[in-house]
Amino acid sequence: MCRHIAYLGPPVALGEILAAPAHSLVRQSWEPRRQKYGTVNADGFGVGWYADGDPVPARYRRKGPVWGDESFADLARVVRSTALLAAVRDATFAGADGEAAAAPFAGGRLLFSHNGAVRGWPGSLEARAAALPPERLLTLAARSDSALVWALVQHRVAEGDELSQAVADTVLDVSSAAPGSRLNLLVTDGSAIVATAWGDTLWYLHEPGRRTVVASEPYDDDPYWREVADHTLLAATHTDILLTPLKEPAA
């Protein structure tokens, strides 16, 4: 369980998105308004962002609560970007992975976060894990359900699937193997955002040609925030939002 957010738009200091709004992601770490599962997101946090001229995003992640990290406050004040993805984490299970288990995960141009939990983990996904190439398993970022879900998305992308299709197919496949899982995924490559609403809240704020924000919950009370229906795939750019219903696998 966690809260996460992605932004595309004009250059902005990270803190203007993550800390300044009245109900920012930082505040959601201790006082989320719409979180269905868990109450405090203090088991790690992270932010990834893109710099001009470099397609590979930078990341800053820590294993503790965001509110106690003075270095993050400084970084968020001075670093500016046109695209970012950030998350605060409420761990499903206690573990030793610490910072490695904090989103965003990364691969090439992509940043990834998972809000939710795979039911029956790890046994429910043994067959899916076994089908991955060994090198993919050996490079898992952490021993967590989110890290494996990310590996499944990456494998589909590496096999040639378009990002939206890879995300949708992963959600449907994992849900088939582990019914009842909560699979709100969030991915960006710095120019587009792909997300799913599958078991928890998802919202978006879209000003065509200016800014697009996709988040677990609104960071302010702007009336133009829109909630995404459950079991929906969202694909967004600076100019468009496309919502596609996802059909839950038959039992």
- Residue positions annotated with a catalytic role: 2
* Neighbour tally for 100: CB within 10 Å: 17
CA Rg value for the chain: 17
CA–CA dist 163, 143 (Å, integer): 24
- Bridge partners (DSSP) of residue 107 are 110
Cβ-in-10-Å burial (0-12, 13-18, 19+) of 127 comes to exposed
End-to-end CA distance of the chain: 24
Query: Residue 72: what are its φ and ψ, rounded to 5°?
Result: -65, -40
Q: Which helix (H) or strand (E) holds 169?
A: helix 163-177
Q: Convert 145-167 to b/e letters by CB count within 10 Å (16 or more is b).
A: bbbbbbbbbbbbbeeebebbebb
Instruction: Report CA-CA distances (Å) from 121 to 15, 99, 116, 146, 174.
Output: 35, 20, 12, 10, 11
Q: Are 118 and 152 contacting, i.e. CB atoms less than 8 angstroms apart?
A: no
